[in-house]
Structures are given as C-alpha cells and as structure tokens.
Structure 1
Amino acid sequence: MQSTDISPIPDDFLVAIENWLMSLVVQHYSPHTLSAYRKNIYQFATFLGEQNQNWQTCEQKHIGLFLSERFDKDKIKNISGKQTLSAIRQFYKFAIHQKLVSHNPTIGQRLKSSSRPLPKIAEEDLLKILLEQPTPDDPTNARLWLRDRAMFELAYGSGLRLSELVGLDVSDVDLAGKTVRVLGKGKKTRVVPMTGKSVKALEIYLPHRELWQEGVDALFISERHGTRLTGRAVQLRLKICAKRAGIEQNFYPHLLRHCFASHLLSSSGDLRAVQEMLGHESVATTQIYTQVDFGALTKIYDKAHPRAVTHVIDVDGVD
C-alpha cells in the first residue's frame, strides 16, 4: 500500500525562504508584495514536499507542474501565475547568490501575457464638476470641503497614488515653487509640479489645518481627531463629494491618478514626461496605464509631423 504521508518542508529550505524574505524587507519591498511572495513560495515548497522533490535539484518541469496545478486546481488568473513565477524566480536568484543552489529552474519558464483592460477614466468635464462644486451650506461640511478639494486637486493635478497622497507632510509642499515632493514605491522620492488650482486650494486649506492638528506633520488630517488622514477616509470622502456633485460614475482615488495620466498625455503626447511624473521605472508601464483617444493623437500628429497636413496635389490628373 502506497504511503500517503507528505514530506514536510526541510529545515534548510525553511531557513533559506525566511532569509530571502528578510532580504526583501531590507530592500523595502511593500508589505503587500512581501505577503504575496511569502504565500507563493510556501505554496511552492509544499508542492515540492508532496512530490518528494528536493528544492536544490528542482528543474523547470517541476515549476511547470506546480503552475499547472495552481491554474487547474486553484483557478488562479494569469496575473497571479506571473506573480507566483516571479516569487520563485527571485527566491532562486537569492539562493544562487548565497551559493545554496547551482541553477535557477525558472530560466526559460514563461507565461503568456493576457490582454490587460485599460481602466475607465472620467471626462474632464466631470472632474470640473467635482472640483468646482459649490461649497456646502453646512459649516462642518464647508470646512471639510476645503480640505477635500485640496486633496482631490493635488491627486488629480499631480497624479499621486493614494498612499503618496496620505503620506505627504506639510514640508513636502512648496507653494512658491509649485512643486510637491513625493515618496513613491520602493521608497523612491520624486518632485512633481502642482497646478495653480492645487496651490490655491492648499493656501485656503492650510490655515484651517493649523486649527485642527495636534502636533502632527501630516498635510491632510482629520478634523475630528487631528491625526493623519487614512487612505480609507480619502476613499469615502471622494465618494461623498462625487455624490454631492451629482456624479453617477464611480469615483475612487486611483481614478484621479489615471485621469491625470490620460488627460495630460492626450494634450501633450509626451510619454516620457508623464512617465517621470507618475514615477514609473519603465515607459512600458506608462503605455499600459494611460489611455489616449484617437482624436487627440490625430491632433498631436497633425501639429508635430512635417508631412502630416494633407494637401491635394494633382499630378497628371491623379489626385
């Protein structure tokens, strides 16, 4: 009778995994990525145990079998499969560097890319309705709107991620220079220009902030608690303000960042500049993330290309 016992994860494998995860912490990987990678690598380790396969002599075929099982059994999506493969690849790179293994079994392993739908954007007129809505009559809501308008103007005007927006301190904003210093992914800092409307909205909000705060450096704070505003609070405030303005489309903070990229690219056509302002390391990410309508591209093309303007030329009777 065949044994049904499953081999446990070997101690040396466990130590290698934890050391690798600790190295990612030192490299400032986000908590979300760390959690996903931990889950992925332990799923893989469990699979190897079930297969009675040594992690140090694992081959590409074992990676393929593991991914196939996840797709068939767990019904994961392509993006999850890519993340899993990335975790295993990064682990073995670490193991090679530590001289624990001699080869990386993920070499040559690829997953087909699936089409990635572009996020919806809001028309510029809707952003105008949101940001230029009348100040509420109720005094409490009126005060909150001064803060909320400054937040949304800055998020849309400078293309900030939600985490970047709530992480801002007062010292990060240079109203005179019309710039904001942003701490983005990977703890990388970038300086992004602010719109005139962002500057004006902040100038109106800051005196009220001074009355609310309790010795905190945060730029956007809770009136009730005097502490840094959370991402969840910003999400709720945006929905409330959009509803108050009569907007039916679902508004959420990342939509403002996407609108920034799409609207700016539509009017300028400068992909590299948008890439820098968004804080993308690769221009390919910006190309996927942004969305430009063909009409806008045509206007840029007609203006920029020396041969773009059409003239009817009759040569020997041929148009």
Structure 2
Amino acid sequence: MQTDLEQFLEHLRSERQLSPRTLEAYRHDLTGLRDYLHEQGVSDWSMVDTEYLRRFVARRHEQGLSGRSLQRALSSVRSLYRYLIRERRCRHNPALDLRAPKSPRKLPRALDADLTARLLNESDDDDWLAIRDHAMLELFYSSGLRLAELAGLDVHELDLTAGEVRVLGKGNKTRIVPVGRHAREALQRWLKVRLLVDSPDQPLFVGKQGRRLTTRAIQLRVRQRGVQQIGQHLHPHMLRHSFASHILESSGDLRAVQELLGHADISTTQIYTHLDFQHLAQVYDQSHPRARKSADKPGAPKNRDES
C-alpha cells in the first residue's frame, strides 16, 4: 500500500504539478487512512470498501476533525482510487458516494457602528503609510470587497467622479460597486501621495518600493490598524461582513446586498448575513396579514376570558 501511495504522490507531483503544500495535505490524509487500514488488517487498497471508509470517517470525526477536513480527506481518497483504477490496480472507488458530516459554518464577527467609526476615524497623521492604510480600510468597508479583490485593483478601475469601482471577483466575474463619500475622500488623499509606479497595470495600493501589495501584506496592515485604533485584531473579511450586515440592517434588501457582495447564489448571502429560514419565517409571521392568527388581528379578543 505504501508503494502505491508513493507512486500516486509522484503522479500528482510530476503530471498534475501540485504545490508542495497541497502534496503534503494529500500525504497527510492518505497516510492516516493507510495506518487505520493496517489496524484493521487490510493489506491492499483493492480490499477497501465503503464501510471501511465510513468507519474511518466516524473515528476521525470523534477525534475532533471538522467536516471540512474530512471532506478534503475523502476527496484525496477519491483521487487516489481514480489513479489506481487508471493503473488497473483496483476496479472500484469506495469513496465515490461517501460524504463527510457537515460542520456549522463559522462566520467572522461584524463590528458594530461605534467600533467601525472608531476604526475609520481619520487622524491628522500625514505619514504615507497611515494615509494608504486608512484608504484601504475605508474602501474595504465602503464597498464590501474581498481581500483578493482589493489587492488586485488598478488605478484605472477606480472612478472617483462617478463614485464607483470595477472589481474582478470570483470566477473572473466583473462587478461595479459604489464607493462612499468618506472612502472617496480617503482615496483622493492617497492618490496625491501614492508613488508613481512604472508598471502598465498601475496597482492602486503599493508598498514603499512601488510594488503591488500582496494579500498577506494587506492582512498584516489591517491587523495592525485594528490593534492601534480599536484594540483588537482585525481581518479584511470582518470589514466585508460588517459592510453586509450594516447595509442589510438598514435596508432589509437581501437582493441588493447579494449584488454588492458579488454572490452568485442568494443562499450564500443569507448565511453570510445571519439570515436563516427560521428568521425569515418569523418575519413573515409577524408582518404578513394572511399569516397572523386571529388573536393577533386588530380588535380581535386575545382569549376567551377577555371577550
């Protein structure tokens, strides 16, 4: 089994050219399964059936492995068996229809309005880095951008006159989102001091060497500003989540928030903004005239004793 495993990993390395980190994840997942199978007296991959895998998943789940990690492990097993079938070492893929248990989706906390105001409070600091970082924070919160979207922005994609920015989102889908007044002012201030960059794409946010900021560099700057301004670690996605939550709280327009965030499916927006079916049903019961019980209608007796 170890020989088959090593040959499969070499196949991933040479033919699929996966990164070292991804290869290590495959090795970790499949080595764990191999060790479990050895405990069960299984000496060949062809001996494994769905029940073995189901028990393996159950054990790892009891050990605290998340549903997402288990799903990744099963994906590794399916890939291994596709390879073994191609090499005619196995005739079946026991992981084909097996699914991992779902884990509750964890969402970043949203900042409340007061904390957001403190975070974005503009100082009189004329430091180049402070001006740039303030502009990044304002744009994150004003337009609900993803980290990669902000990092990939070029100067020509920003139209401060129209108050909008063109964003390349997931799946190479382009959307245009508004840029609020405070963000426009912060960006105008930034563009006045931004280094001239000898690059055809003209990245919007650059470092002192004139190179485009990486996503990691942006994360670190956002975290540092969070500690300085509000005394807590901050991640760009928390600003995106705050943007969505605050817009939804004020407008109640789920479709508009979906468009602004660039979600292909509105169910993603529902989860993202803490709206679940139970909440929607409660709103319906409280607001729809035909959903109210007779006792809730104006003028109707609440119970027999009051009639």
For normalisation by structure 2, the TM-score amounts to 0.73
1:9 aligns with 2:4: yes
Corresponding residue SS for 1:80: helix
Q: Distance in 2 between matches of 1:275 and 1:93?
A: 38
Aligned to 1:274: 257
Aligned residue pairs, count: 295
**Which structure 2 residue ranges, 5 or more long, are not aligned?**
none
Aligned to 1:28: none
- Please report how far the alpha carbon of residue 205 of structure 1 lies from its aligned counterpart in structure 2 after TM superposition: 1.6
**Which structure 1 residue ranges, 5 or more long, are not aligned?**
1-5, 26-30
Aligned to 2:243: 260
Preserved CA contact (<8 Å) 2:227 2:234: no
Deviates more, 1:174-183 or 1:156-165: 174-183
Q: Distance in 2 between matches of 1:189 and 1:297?
A: 29
Aligned to 2:205: 220
- Please report how far the alpha carbon of residue 297 of structure 1 lies from its aligned counterpart in structure 2 after TM superposition: 7.9
Preserved CA contact (<8 Å) 1:41 1:84: yes
Structure 1 pair 81–36 and aligned structure 2 pair: CA distance change class (3 A): farther
Of 61, 67, 76, 2:51 maps to 61
CA deviation string 1:164-214 (max 9, x = no partner): 2212222332334433333334x4223141232223322222122144x34
Task: Give 1:60-79 correspondences, 5 Å limit.
Answer: 60-68=50-58, 70-71=60-61, 75-79=64-68
Q: Distance in 2 between matches of 1:45 and 1:39?
A: 10
Letter in 2 for 1:313: G
Of 217, 221, 224, 1:237 maps to 221
Aligned to 1:3: none
CA deviation string 1:216-273 (max 9, x = no partner): 6211011x2111123333233334433443x134322121011112222222333343
Q: Distance in 2 between matches of 1:119 and 1:159?
A: 14
Structure 1 pair 98–280 and aligned structure 2 pair: CA distance change class (3 A): farther
Structure 1 pair 281–292 and aligned structure 2 pair: CA distance change class (3 A): closer
Aligned to 1:145: 130
CA deviation string 1:12-68 (max 9, x = no partner): 74566558845xx7xxxxx7994576346643674598432235x742123224434
Corresponding residue SS for 1:263: helix
Deviates more, 1:123-132 or 1:103-112: 103-112
Q: Distance in 1 between matches of 2:262 and 2:21?
A: 18
Structure 1 pair 159–264 and aligned structure 2 pair: CA distance change class (3 A): same
RMSD: 4.2
Letter in 2 for 1:38: Y
Preserved CA contact (<8 Å) 1:40 1:87: no
CA deviation string 1:114-138 (max 9, x = no partner): 33444321101211222133222xx
Of 114, 122, 130, 2:103 maps to 114
Aligned to 1:200: 185
Corresponding residue SS for 1:236: helix
Letter in 1 for 2:174: R
Aligned to 1:133: 122
Q: Distance in 2 between matches of 1:91 and 1:173?
A: 46
> Could you tell me the percent identity over the aligned residues?
36
Deviates more, 1:39-48 or 1:280-289: 39-48
Aligned to 1:84: 73
Task: Give 1:168-183 correspondences, 5 Å limit.
Answer: 168-183=153-168
1:162 aligns with 2:150: no
Preserved CA contact (<8 Å) 2:30 2:76: no
Letter in 2 for 1:199: R
Q: Distance in 2 between matches of 1:115 and 1:127?
A: 27
1:287 aligns with 2:270: yes
